[in-house]
């Protein structure tokens, strides 16, 4: 009797996975790793207490590699999780059972640089820091700056932003087009190099923020920006949280084209003084500012901002004059998460990421401070207040009870933000951690359309299953 032929519908999950690895071996060879340390590195992201080992990690070096992997995974119904730098914080990169982690971090090339049009095309695995070093001589830069050393592909997939979004926008505004490998292994290009186009559905925007659930991005056409002539950075401290938030709100409401306005409450500031050696400052609520433009424009922005801060009892501006001082200040801001983590080194830090319209920010943050006090937990607060977005870094014992306490506080904070017409995540994304809030935020109708899209584009649900979309009804027309 001949051996029965194994098919995707009859084989077990482990057998299907082995079939994919066998098919990939001749093409990918040593770029397939099953080493325990490599699997461990790809089993989790940052912050969230969730992990699961992938069965294998495959390192892609080209769009064709990604297409080959997806073609076989689609044929054998094997789950694939794209992996950039693994800095996402909501369990985005945690693989399900019997899955492959597809690492794009070796795809670091700049495919095309058009300085005269202020755009470039890069491979998805390049980090934003490397890109900025490589294009420095052109006088241009890429402004989206999440705290982690993230890849451009990962930043597209989470629709990331950072401290400069108030001036330059998020990934949504800075991605012009993409190369995407679909679940079947088919390669498509979306968008292009032009700044606007009124043709067709906006597929670029569909993939930006799709968290690796609709396709895997291999190339990205990015907008670049001219380096400003003049840069000034300063901090201003406040006795009261209310006064600091009022200052940030008035700056935005007055239309000052500020480049960065970031808040740290007194608990976060104390942690950052300790961690980053900002010893010349007090552990008080603090606003960090950056102004850019022509010298005259910067002067004007600074004067108006100083007047607003002083009208809200600001304790005076301390200027970071030299590039080194500015770098030190912004590094301290970017290291805030690690500073909070250092408060209790063995603890876990869970970050909230709410956003509300700017006029509701004061009401939200003051309510959140009351929630933190009532919870008895330590939770420094900081954020991109110019966008109405902030993080509470909830410090919790690394135990099931500790996680539950943190989750309870997280839920209260999200409920407050949603009741003020906000969103549960301004920049980190959904992953697994925010799934429970999506129905309240978007409503069942929108979610059912999202599920219909997912079913059309990834009929076997091989692309990062279990992320972004909670189960539920599907729009059928
Ligand atoms: C200290 C710290 C500070 C942070 N600050 C910010 C911040 O200010 N703003 C902000 O937005 N985020 C912030 N983050 C979160 C994180 O840096 C971002 O979510 C970032 O965009 C993730 O990029 P990554 O390359 O690490 O992606 P990964 O974590 O590797 O992946 C993230 C998601 O994208 C998918 N993915 C990765 N690459 C691709 C691809 N090529 N194609 C399709 N899908 C892909 C993955 O499957 C996963 O779902 C911070 C994180 C840390 C640890």
Predicted confidence (pLDDT) per residue in 222-256, tens digit: 999 999 989 999 999 999 999 999 999 999 999 99
Which atom of ligand 1 has the smallest separation from the CA of 211? 49
Euclidean distance between CA atoms 227 and 328, whole angstroms: 19
Position 148 confidence tier, pLDDT thresholds 50, 70, 90: confident
Q: Which of 178, 171, 168 is nearest to 204 (CA)?
A: 178
Pocket lining for ligand 1, CB < 6 angstroms: 45-46, 81-89, 92-93, 104, 124, 146-148, 150-151, 153-155, 157-158, 160-162, 211-212, 216-217, 337, 427-428, 464, 467
Residue 110: what pLDDT? 98
Residue 126: what pLDDT? 98
Is 407 a domain residue? yes
| Centroid of ligand 1 to alpha carbon of 10 (angstroms) | 36
Percentage of the chain with pLDDT > 90?
Answer: 88
Tokens describing residue 469: 């979309």
Beta-sheet pairing, 100-103 with 80-83? parallel
202: Cα separation from own chain's centroid: 21
Residue 165: what pLDDT? 96
Is 193 a domain residue? yes
Q: Residues 161-180: what's their mean pLDDT? A: 96
Residues 211, 318 within the same domain: no
| Centroid of ligand 1 to alpha carbon of 382 (angstroms) | 19
| Centroid of ligand 1 to alpha carbon of 236 (angstroms) | 30
Q: Measure CA of the first residue to CA of the last residue in the chain; give whole Å.
A: 48
Site to probe by mutation for ligand 1, drawn from 90, 147, 340 as the one with most ligand atoms within 8 Å of Cβ, is 147
Cβ atoms < 10 Å from Cβ of 477: 3
Mean pLDDT over all residues of the chain?
95
Residues 175, 203 within the same domain: yes
Residues 212, 241 within the same domain: no
Is 457 a domain residue? no
Location of structure tokens 């909070």 = 340
Residue with CA at minimum distance from ligand 1 atom 28: 86
Euclidean distance between CA atoms 355 and 389, whole angstroms: 4
Residue 24: what pLDDT? 98
**Tens of pLDDT, residues 440-462:** 999 999 999 999 999 999 999 99
Residue 322: what pLDDT? 86
Q: Residues 385-398: what's their mean pLDDT? A: 93
Residue 348: what pLDDT? 87
More confident residue, 132 or 397: 132
Position 47 confidence tier, pLDDT thresholds 50, 70, 90: confident
Percentage of the chain with pLDDT > 70?
Answer: 100
Is 336 a domain residue? yes
Which atom of ligand 1 has the smallest separation from the CA of 156? 21
Residue 414 is part of a domain; what is its CATH number?
A: 3.30.70.2740
Residues 405, 363 within the same domain: yes
Residue 346: what pLDDT? 87
**Tens of pLDDT, residues 315-361:** 988 888 788 989 999 899 989 999 999 998 888 888 999 999 999 99
Is 431 a domain residue? yes
Q: Residues 412-438: what's their mean pLDDT? A: 97
Does position 48 have pLDDT exceeding 80, yes or no?
no
The answer to whether 109 and 151 are in contact (CB under 8 A) is no
3-state secondary structure the chain: CCCCCCCCCCCCHHHHHHHHHHHHHHHHHHHEECCHHHHHHCCCCCCCCCCCCCCEEEECCCHHHHHHHHHHHHHHCCCEEEECCCCCCCCCCCCCCCCEEEECCCCCCEEEEEHHHCEEEEECCCEHHHHHHHCHHHCEECCCCCCCCCEHHHHHHHCCCCCCHHHHCCHHHHEEEEEEECCCCCEEEEECCCCCCCCCCCHHHHHCCCCCCCCEEEEEEEECEECCCEEEEEEEEECCHHHHHHHHHHHHHCCCCCCEEEEECHHHHHHHHHHHCCCCCCCCEEEEEEEEECHHHHHHHHHHHHHHHHHCCCCCEEEECCHHHHHHHHHHHHCHHHHHHCCCCCCEEEECECECCHHHHHHHHHHHHHHHHHHCCECCEEECHHHCECEEEEEECCCHHHHHHHHHHHHHHHHHHHHCCCECECCCCCCCCCHHHHHHHHHHHHHHHHHHHHHHHCCCCCECCCCCCCCCCCCCC
- Side-by-side strand order, sheet with 80-83: 32-33, 56-59, 100-103, 80-83
Q: Which residues 6+ apart lie within 8 Å of 452 measured at CB?
A: 474, 475, 476
Q: Residues 130-139: what's their mean pLDDT? A: 97
Residues 246, 330 within the same domain: yes
Q: Which of 23, 105, 6 is nearest to 59 (CA)?
A: 105
Domain range for 39 is: 13-103
Residues 263, 311 within the same domain: yes
| Centroid of ligand 1 to alpha carbon of 237 (angstroms) | 31
Does position 476 have pLDDT exceeding 80, yes or no?
yes
User: Which of 78, 103, 128 is the endpoint of a domain?
Assistant: 103
Q: Which residues 6+ apart lie within 8 Å of 258 measured at CB?
A: 166, 167, 251, 252, 289, 290, 291, 301, 305, 386
| Centroid of ligand 1 to alpha carbon of 87 (angstroms) | 5
Which atom of ligand 1 has the smallest separation from the CA of 218? 41
Residue 3: what pLDDT? 74
| Centroid of ligand 1 to alpha carbon of 238 (angstroms) | 32
Euclidean distance between CA atoms 74 and 68, whole angstroms: 10
Site to probe by mutation for ligand 1, drawn from 54, 59, 154, 212 as the one with most ligand atoms within 8 Å of Cβ, is 154
Residue 162 is part of a domain; what is its CATH number?
A: 3.30.465.10
Number of domains in the chain: 4
Strand partners, 355: 389, 423
Q: Which of 67, 103, 99 is nearest to 85 (CA)?
A: 103
Residue 58 is part of a domain; what is its CATH number?
A: 3.30.43.10
Site to probe by mutation for ligand 1, drawn from 60, 82, 96 as the one with most ligand atoms within 8 Å of Cβ, is 82
Does position 220 have pLDDT exceeding 90, yes or no?
yes
Q: Residues 76-97: what's their mean pLDDT? A: 97
The answer to whether 214 and 70 are in contact (CB under 8 A) is no
pTM over 0.85: yes
Does position 6 have pLDDT exceeding 90, yes or no?
no
Q: Which residues 6+ apart lie within 8 Å of 252 measured at CB?
A: 166, 258, 261, 358, 386
Residue with CA at minimum distance from ligand 1 atom 13: 146
The answer to whether 178 and 156 are in contact (CB under 8 A) is yes
Residues 173, 114 within the same domain: yes
Residue 289: what pLDDT? 94
Does position 4 have pLDDT exceeding 80, yes or no?
no
Is 28 a domain residue? yes
| Centroid of ligand 1 to alpha carbon of 290 (angstroms) | 24
Is 385 a domain residue? yes
| Centroid of ligand 1 to alpha carbon of 23 (angstroms) | 30
| Centroid of ligand 1 to alpha carbon of 154 (angstroms) | 5
| Centroid of ligand 1 to alpha carbon of 76 (angstroms) | 28
Location of structure tokens 């670029």 = 204
């Amino acid at each position: 009797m001949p051996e029965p032929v194994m098919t995707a519908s009859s084989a077990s999950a482990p057998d299907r996975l082995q079939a994919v690895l066998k098919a990939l071996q001749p093409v990918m060879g040593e770029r397939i790793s099953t080493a325990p340390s490599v699997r461990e590195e790809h089993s989790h992201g940052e912050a969230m207490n969730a992990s699961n080992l992938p069965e294998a990690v495959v390192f892609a070096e080209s769009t064709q590699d990604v297409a080959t992997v997806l073609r076989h995974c689609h044929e054998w119904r094997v789950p694939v999780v794209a992996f950039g730098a693994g800095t996402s914080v909501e369990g985005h990169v945690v693989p399900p059972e019997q899955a492959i982690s597809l690492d794009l971090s070796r795809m670091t090339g700049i495919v095309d640089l058009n300085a005269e049009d202020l755009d470039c095309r890069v491979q998805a695995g390049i980090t934003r820091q490397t890109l900025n070093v490589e294009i420095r001589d052109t006088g241009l830069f890429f402004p989206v700056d999440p705290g982690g050393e993230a890849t451009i592909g990962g930043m597209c997939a989470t629709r990331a932003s950072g401290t400069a979004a108030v001036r330059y926008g998020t990934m949504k505004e800075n991605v012009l087009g993409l190369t995407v490998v679909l679940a079947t292994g088919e390669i498509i290009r979306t968008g292009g190099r032009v700044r606007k186009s009124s043709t067709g559905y906006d597929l670029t925007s569909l993939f930006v923020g799709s968290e690796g659930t609709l396709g895997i991005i291999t190339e990205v056409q990015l907008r670049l920006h001219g380096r400003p002539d003049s840069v000034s950075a300063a901090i201003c401290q406040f006795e009261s949280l209310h006064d600091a938030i009022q200052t940030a709100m008035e700056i935005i409401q007055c239309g000052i084209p500020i480049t960065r306005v970031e808040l740290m409450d007194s608990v976060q500031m104390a942690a950052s003084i300790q961690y980053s050696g900002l010893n010349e400052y007090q552990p008080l609520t603090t606003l960090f500012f950056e102004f850019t433009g022509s010298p005259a424009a910067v002067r004007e922005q600074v004067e108006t901002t100083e007047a607003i801060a002083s009208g809200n009892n600001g304790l005076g501006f301390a200027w970071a004059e030299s590039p080194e001082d500015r770098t030190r200040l912004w590094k301290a801001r970017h290291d805030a998460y690690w500073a909070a983590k250092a408060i209790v080194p063995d603890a876990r830090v869970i970050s909230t990421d709410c956003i509300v319209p700017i006029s509701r920010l004061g009401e939200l943050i003051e309510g959140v401070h009351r929630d933190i006090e009532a919870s008895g937990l330590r939770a420094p607060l900081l954020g991109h207040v110019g966008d109405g977005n902030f993080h509470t870094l909830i410090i919790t014992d690394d135990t099931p009870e500790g996680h539950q306490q943190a989750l309870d506080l997280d839920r209260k904070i999200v409920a407050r933000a949603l009741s003020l017409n906000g969103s549960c995540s301004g920049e980190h994304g959904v992953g697994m951690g925010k799934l429970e809030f999506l129905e309240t935020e978007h409503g069942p109708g929108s979610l059912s359309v999202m599920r219909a899209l997912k079913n059309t584009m990834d009929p076997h649900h091989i692309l990062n299953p279990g992320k972004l979309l909670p189960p539920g009804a599907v729009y059928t027309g």
